[in-house]
Chain A
Amino acid sequence: MIVAFIQRAIVQGIPLLFGSTGEIITEKAGHLNLGTAGVMYVGGISGVIGAFIYENSVETVNPVLAVIIPILTSVIGSLIMGLIYSFLTVTLRANQNVTGLALTTFGVGVGNFFGGSLIKLTNSDLPSIALSATSNCFKTQLPFADKLGWFGEIFLSYSFLAYFAVIIALLTSFFFNKTKAGLSLRAIGENPATADAAGINVSKYKYFATCTGSIIAGLGGLYYVMDYACGVWSNDGFGDRGWLAIALVIFAVWKPNLSIFGSILFGGLLVVHNYIPNLTMASQEIFKMTPYVVTILVLIIISMRRKRETQPPASLGLSYFREER
C-alpha cells in the first residue's frame, strides 16, 4: 500500500512540479504570474486539441507523432498565454496581479470552452473527448519497469513526461546557479535597475522568463490530461492545481530542486486521505487543505526569520521603467 501511495503522490505531484518550475522562472524575473492556473488549463486543452485533430484525421495512430503533436500544440498554446502576459506586464507595465487574474479567467475559460465545444466545433460525431490512443502513447513505460518489483513501481512506472518534469526542475536549478544567464535573470528579479545598468536587456529576459515559465507550466496541464486523466478532458477537472503550484513555489522557497520534493509531498497530502482508513467524506475535505496550510506556515516562517536568501525576489510584482525619476 505504501508503494501505491508513493506512486499516487508522485503522479499527483508532477503537474504541480511543472507548474511551480514554470512559476519559479517567472518569479525570479520579478513577475508574479497569478495566471499560472489559466496557463496550465490552456497548456492542457491545446494539447487535447492537437491530439483530437490528429486522432480524428488518421486511421492508425503513429506513436511518435501522437506524442509530438500534442506537445507542440500545448507549447504553442502556453506560449501565446505567456506572450499576452509579458506584453501587458513588461511592455505595457500593467499591474501584474490584475493581469494574472485576468489571464486565469481567460485561460480557464478557454480550457472549459474548447473542452465543452470541441466536438461541436469540429462537427465530430464522438460522444466525448477521450483520447485513449494518444494517452497510451504518452503512458509508455520503460520496458523493464514491471520486472523490478517495488523499486520499479516507485521509480520507473511513470510516463516520460514525469521524468521530463524532474529533469526540467534540475536543469532550471542548474541554470540559476551555474550559468551567466541564470545569474542575470536572478539579478533582474532582485533589482532590475542594477541589471539594466550592468548591460542586461531587462525586457528580453523578462519576456524569456515569462514565456519559458508559461510553456513549462503548460506542460503540467498536458501531463494531467494525457497521463493522470488518461486522455479524458473534463471541464474544471484540473481544479485548483494551478494555485497549488504557486503555493509550491513558496514552499520550495524559490528553489526548483526543492520543489521536486515539495511536489511529491504536496501530491501526497492531496491523496493521503484515501490511505487513512475510516475517514468520512467530510474529514477527507479537511485533509485536502493541508498543502495550503503548510504553505502559509512556510510563508510566515520565512517572513519571521528574515533570512535574506529565502525571501521572495525583491522586485516581485513591480514594473520596471528605466527613466523613472
Chain B
Amino acid sequence: MSKPAIELKNITKTFGSIVANKNVSLTVNFGEILSVLGENGSGKTTLMNMISGIYYPDSGHIYINGEEVVIRSPKDAFDYKIGMIHQHFKLVDVFSAAENIVLGIDGKSRYNIKDSIKEIKKITDKYGFEIDLNKKIYEMSVSEKQTVEIVKVLYKGADILILDEPTAVLTPQETQKLFAVLRRMKESGKSIIIITHKLHEVLSLSDKVAVLRKGEYIGTVETKNTNEAELTEMMVGQKVELNIDRTEPKNCENRLEVLNISCINREGVKVLDNISFTARSGEILGIAGIAGSGQRELLESIAGLQKLNDGNILYHDPKTGKIDNLRDKTPVQIRDLGVRLSFVPEDRLGMGLVGNMDIVDNMMLRSYKKGKSLFVDRKQPKTLAKKIIEDLGVVTPGTSTPVRRLSGGNVQKILVGREIAASPTVLMAAYPVRGLDINSSYLIYNLLNTQKENGVAVIFVGEDLDVLLELCDRIMVISSGTISGIVDARTATKEELGLLMTKHGGEKQ
C-alpha cells in the first residue's frame, strides 16, 4: 500500500455566519487520483484553498507525509510541494507563458528566459503538453491557459496537484487530453486531487472519491466499488425525486423570435454562431450546455447588453400583436418600446443587484426612472421590499440591510422577486438556483412555474440536467456558441442531453 501524501483531519472554516467546511477529513496517497465531488456550493473550493494556503482554517489539522504542518500562505504550500490549478486562472495577462511559469521560483536572482524555456521544455516533453512558451497569456485560449497553469505547478516541483473544476471550460477532446496527462502524472508517483461535479469524469479518472455536501464531509469510496447512483446519493443526500410540478403549456404564442444571431466578443472569438429559436408564452424553455458555451452572451444580447454581429431578435407584443426588433437596442430603448423583459443574471451581486445598497434601493434599480419627478420615490420600493421579504421568506434584519450581508439564497430571492414584480412577458433566468439550498431552489422553481402559468415566456439557463428535464417544457442545448439541438423535456433523457452538449465541441476553440 502506498503512503499517504496528504491528510486532512477535522478541518473547519467559516466566513462570518456561513460555514463553508465543517469537520472535513480526507487522505490522498502518492500515485493516486482523488476526486472531490460535490454540488456547487458544497465547499470543495474552500477546502482546497486551505490546502494551498489561500485561506487559513479555523480549526483542524493538516498532515503532509505523516507530519503535521501549518500552511499559512501559498509559499508554505509550495514548500510542501502542493500546487493548485485554480478554476479562475492565476496568470498575469501581460506576461508570456514562460514568465508566468518561472514566476515566484526561488533560486538565482538573475534569470535567463532562454535557459528557463529549455528547462520548461523538459517537463512539457515528459508529459506531452503542447504549448508555445513565448506566447502572451492574453493571446491564449482557455485550454492553453490551463496548460500553462499545470506546467507551472509541475515546474515548481509539486508532488500534490489540486485541480479545481478543470474540465468546466474544456471541450471533450481537450478533456481527454488533460486526463491522459493526469494519468501519466499519476504513474510517475504524483498525487492528484481533482474537484468536479461531473460523475462520469469521476468514474473514468479517479481511484477514490471523497464527497462533500453543504460543507460537510460525507465519506470516501473506492471508485471501483461504486457507481453513479451511489455517488449521486452521497452528493445530494437521500435519493430525491425532484417532483417539480409541471403543468402542460397553455395558450402558447410566439413571444420572442431569435433569428440567426451571431456575436464575436472582444477577444475575437465567435461566442454565438447563427443561433435561432423561439420562446413561447406559457412555456419554460430550458437552455443546457457546458459553462461558457455562449449562454451568458445569448441572454445579454436579448437584454440589450451585447452588440450583435448578425441576426435579429423579434418581440411579439401580446396586446397589440406588434413586432419589434430588439437587436442592438439598449435596455432603456427596449423598455420604452413597452417590452416587459425581466432578466435574472448569473452574477447576482455584480450585475443584478448592488451589494452595498440596501434592499429598498435595490428594488428601485429597475423602476427609479418612472415618473417626472426629479427625486426618487422610496415609498413604493419599500412596500415592494416588504412584500418580497414576506412572500418569499427572505431572512434579513430589515429593509435597510445592504444585500451583500444576506446569504446567497436570500440575495437570489430579492433579485428574482424584483424581476417578477415587474410583471414581465419574458423572464430570463441564468442559473437561478446556483448555490441555493433545496428549499430555496424549490421556491424558485415554483416562482418560475407560476410565471409560466401566467403566460410568461420563461427562459431558464441551468446546469443540473435533472432540474432541466423536470422543470422545462423544451430544452435547447448549446455547445460552443451553436445550437446542437432542441428537445422535448418530457421525452428526452439525460444521456441525450449530455451527448448534445458535447456534440460540436472541440471542432473549434
- Whether A and B touch (Cβ < 8 Å) is answered with yes
| A residues neighboring B (CB under 8 Å) | 178-181, 183-184, 186-187, 190-191, 193-201, 308-309, 311, 314, 322-323, 325
**B55 A183 Cβ-Cβ under 8 A:** no
Chain B residues near A178 (CB-CB < 8 A)? 110-112
**B75 A194 Cβ-Cβ under 8 A:** no
* Subset of 26 A-B contacts with CB under 8 Å: A178-B110, A178-B111, A178-B112, A179-B109, A179-B110, A180-B102, A180-B106, A180-B110, A181-B109, A183-B95, A183-B111, A184-B103, A187-B92, A187-B104, A190-B92, A190-B93, A190-B94, A191-B90, A193-B90, A194-B91, A196-B54, A197-B86, A198-B74, A198-B104, A309-B94, A323-B54
Q: Which residue of A lies closest to B18 (CB)?
A: A325
B138 beta carbon closer than 8 Å to chain A: yes
B84 beta carbon closer than 8 Å to chain A: yes
Q: Nearest Cβ distance between residue B145 and chain A, in whole angstroms? A: 12
Chain B 100-119 interface mask (CB, 8 Å, partner A; 1/0): 00111111111110000000
**B108 A180 Cβ-Cβ under 8 A:** yes
Chain A residues near B111 (CB-CB < 8 A)? 178-180, 183
**A199 B74 Cβ-Cβ under 8 A:** yes
**A314 B93 Cβ-Cβ under 8 A:** yes
Tally B residues with Cβ within 8 Å of A: 33
Chain B residues near A191 (CB-CB < 8 A)? 90-93
B188 beta carbon closer than 8 Å to chain A: no
**A199 B73 Cβ-Cβ under 8 A:** yes
Contact for B74 among A190, A197, A309, A311, CB less than 8 A: A197
Chain B residues near A184 (CB-CB < 8 A)? 103-104
Report Cα–Cα, A88/B90, bound state, in Å: 27
Report Cα–Cα, A323/B75, bound state, in Å: 15
B52 beta carbon closer than 8 Å to chain A: yes
Chain B residues near A183 (CB-CB < 8 A)? 95, 99, 102-103, 111
Q: Which residue of B lies closest to A198 (CB)?
A: B104
Main secondary structure of the interface of A (DSSP, over half): helix
B271 beta carbon closer than 8 Å to chain A: no
Given contacts A178-B110, A179-B110, A197-B86, contact A322 B77 (CB under 8 A): no
Q: Which residue of B lies closest to A180 (CB)?
A: B111
| Most chain B beta carbons < 10 A, residue from A178, A181, A187 | A187
Report Cα–Cα, A191/B90, bound state, in Å: 8
Q: Which 8 A-B pairs have the closest CB atoms?
A: A198-B104, A199-B75, A194-B90, A197-B90, A199-B78, A199-B104, A190-B92, A200-B104
Report Cα–Cα, A92/B134, bound state, in Å: 38
Contact for B75 among A179, A186, A200, A314, CB less than 8 A: A200
Chain A residues near B136 (CB-CB < 8 A)? 308
**A197 B54 Cβ-Cβ under 8 A:** yes
Report Cα–Cα, A184/B92, bound state, in Å: 10
| Most chain B beta carbons < 10 A, residue from A187, A191, A197, A198 | A197
Report Cα–Cα, A201/B73, bound state, in Å: 9
B375 beta carbon closer than 8 Å to chain A: no
Q: A186-B92, A195-B92 are in contact. List 18 more A-B contacts (CB 8 A).
A: A179-B109, A179-B110, A179-B111, A180-B106, A190-B93, A190-B94, A191-B92, A194-B91, A194-B103, A197-B52, A197-B90, A199-B74, A199-B75, A201-B75, A308-B138, A309-B94, A322-B54, A325-B15
**A187 B93 Cβ-Cβ under 8 A:** no
Chain A residues near B75 (CB-CB < 8 A)? 199-201
**A196 B92 Cβ-Cβ under 8 A:** no
Q: Nearest Cβ distance between residue B154 and chain A, in whole angstroms? A: 14
Q: Nearest Cβ distance between residue B156 and chain A, in whole angstroms? A: 8
Chain B residues near A309 (CB-CB < 8 A)? 94
Report Cα–Cα, A187/B90, bound state, in Å: 11
Q: Nearest Cβ distance between residue A201 and chain B, in whole angstroms? A: 7
**A180 B99 Cβ-Cβ under 8 A:** no
Chain A residues near B106 (CB-CB < 8 A)? 180
Q: Nearest Cβ distance between residue A169 and chain B, in whole angstroms? A: 19
Report Cα–Cα, A198/B74, bound state, in Å: 7
**B102 A308 Cβ-Cβ under 8 A:** no
Chain A residues near B78 (CB-CB < 8 A)? 199
Report Cα–Cα, A209/B48, bound state, in Å: 31
Chain A residues near B55 (CB-CB < 8 A)? 323
**B109 A187 Cβ-Cβ under 8 A:** no
Q: Nearest Cβ distance between residue A123 and chain B, in whole angstroms? A: 49
Contact for A190 among B52, B95, B156, CB less than 8 A: B95
Chain B residues near A198 (CB-CB < 8 A)? 74, 90, 103-104, 152
Q: Nearest Cβ distance between residue B89 and chain A, in whole angstroms? A: 8
Report Cα–Cα, A187/B81, bound state, in Å: 22
Report Cα–Cα, A97/B111, bound state, in Å: 35
Chain B residues near A196 (CB-CB < 8 A)? 54, 73-74
Chain A residues near B112 (CB-CB < 8 A)? 178
**A308 B94 Cβ-Cβ under 8 A:** yes
**A197 B102 Cβ-Cβ under 8 A:** no
Chain B residues near A308 (CB-CB < 8 A)? 93-94, 136, 138
**A195 B94 Cβ-Cβ under 8 A:** no
Interface residues of B in 55-95 (CB under 8 A from A): 55, 73-75, 77-78, 84, 86, 90-95
Q: Nearest Cβ distance between residue A175 and chain B, in whole angstroms? A: 10
Chain A residues near B95 (CB-CB < 8 A)? 183, 186-187, 190
Q: Which residue of B lies closest to A177 (CB)?
A: B113
Report Cα–Cα, A2/B271, bound state, in Å: 59
**B93 A195 Cβ-Cβ under 8 A:** no
Chain B residues near A180 (CB-CB < 8 A)? 102, 105-111
Q: Which residue of A lies closest to B88 (CB)?
A: A193
Q: Nearest Cβ distance between residue B458 and chain A, in whole angstroms? A: 31
Contact for A195 among B15, B77, B103, B138, CB less than 8 A: B103
Q: Which residue of B lies closest to A178 (CB)?
A: B110
Report Cα–Cα, A83/B103, bound state, in Å: 26
Report Cα–Cα, A325/B349, bound state, in Å: 12
Q: Which residue of A lies closest to B56 (CB)?
A: A323
Report Cα–Cα, A198/B77, bound state, in Å: 10
Chain A residues near B93 (CB-CB < 8 A)? 190-191, 308, 314
Report Cα–Cα, A198/B86, bound state, in Å: 12
Chain B residues near A193 (CB-CB < 8 A)? 90
Report Cα–Cα, A190/B78, bound state, in Å: 22
Q: Nearest Cβ distance between residue A89 and chain B, in whole angstroms? A: 20
Report Cα–Cα, A322/B103, bound state, in Å: 18
Q: Which residue of A lies closest to B104 (CB)?
A: A198
Report Cα–Cα, A226/B91, bound state, in Å: 45
Chain A residues near B102 (CB-CB < 8 A)? 180, 183
Q: Nearest Cβ distance between residue A189 and chain B, in whole angstroms? A: 9
Chain B residues near A186 (CB-CB < 8 A)? 92, 95
Q: Which residue of B lies closest to A313 (CB)?
A: B94
Report Cα–Cα, A56/B136, bound state, in Å: 58
Chain A residues near B99 (CB-CB < 8 A)? 183
Chain B residues near A323 (CB-CB < 8 A)? 54-55
Contact for B103 among A187, A201, A311, A314, CB less than 8 A: A187
Q: Nearest Cβ distance between residue A137 and chain B, in whole angstroms? A: 34
Q: Nearest Cβ distance between residue A263 and chain B, in whole angstroms? A: 25
Q: Nearest Cβ distance between residue B108 and chain A, in whole angstroms? A: 7
Report Cα–Cα, A84/B128, bound state, in Å: 50
Report Cα–Cα, A184/B136, bound state, in Å: 17
Q: Which residue of A lies closest to B75 (CB)?
A: A199
Q: Nearest Cβ distance between residue A318 and chain B, in whole angstroms? A: 15
Q: Which residue of B lies closest to A197 (CB)?
A: B90
Report Cα–Cα, A187/B75, bound state, in Å: 15
Q: Which residue of A lies closest to B136 (CB)?
A: A308
**A200 B103 Cβ-Cβ under 8 A:** yes
| Most chain B beta carbons < 10 A, residue from A186, A190, A198, A308 | A198
